[in-house]
Amino acid sequence: MSAEPTPSPSAPQHTAKTDVRWHWEDFNEGLSLTFGPKRVEREEVIRFATDFDPQPFHLSEEAGKASLFGGLAASGWHTAGMVMRLMCDGFLLDSSSLGSPGLDSLKWLKPVMVGDEIRARMTILGTRPMKSKAHVGLVQSRWEAINQRDEVVMVIESWAMFGRREAATESHAAGL
């Protein structure tokens, strides 16, 4: 017998996909949403690097100062994870999200340093219904991580899948 995972206490609990705010129809081209800021702390940079990206400039101030970064820099993967958390807290956990088929591009433009504050800005580039699944819509977006100096430090472009409000409503009315 396997134990059921315990949901995070900070994650909203939904019993059906119809009780969420954001569905595919809510994402119109040009929509821009900003979330955060999130302060980048020394301990979390080192912890993430120790577990997932143990390059010296992510692990110590001394190695960071001796590197091209000039100080302790967060891993780009850590930056992507922080942006993902801002997006989850900002809207994804209150959406009909069905995941993503992957990233079209990911670019780290500037280092994220200890003490920086990052915000996440999502801009909708386009939408279309999924041809093979009528209850799913596709959303193309650009996610930017922006520091306290208003510099874009990371850009992700990708497609995501969201449940469609009409399909959810029709399923609900049919008792499904």
Q: Is 9's pLDDT higher than 80?
A: no
Average pLDDT, the chain: 89
pLDDT (0 to 100) of residue 45? 98
Q: What is the pLDDT of residues 59-113, one digit of tens each?
A: 999 999 999 999 999 999 999 999 999 999 999 999 999 999 999 999 999 999 9
> Residue 54: what pLDDT?
98
Q: pTM (2 decimals)? A: 0.84
Distance between CA atoms of residues 20 and 168, nearest Å: 11
Domain definitions of the chain by residue range: 19-173
Asked whether residue 175 carries a pLDDT value surpassing 70, the answer given is no
Name the band, by pLDDT with cuts 50, 70 and 90, for residue 18: low
Whether residue 122 has pLDDT greater than 60: yes
From CA 169, how far away is CA 117, in angstroms rounded? Answer: 40
Confidence of residue 19 (pLDDT cuts 50, 70, 90): confident
Architecture of the domain whose range is 19-173: Roll (3.10)
pLDDT class for 56, splitting at 50, 70, 90? Answer: very high
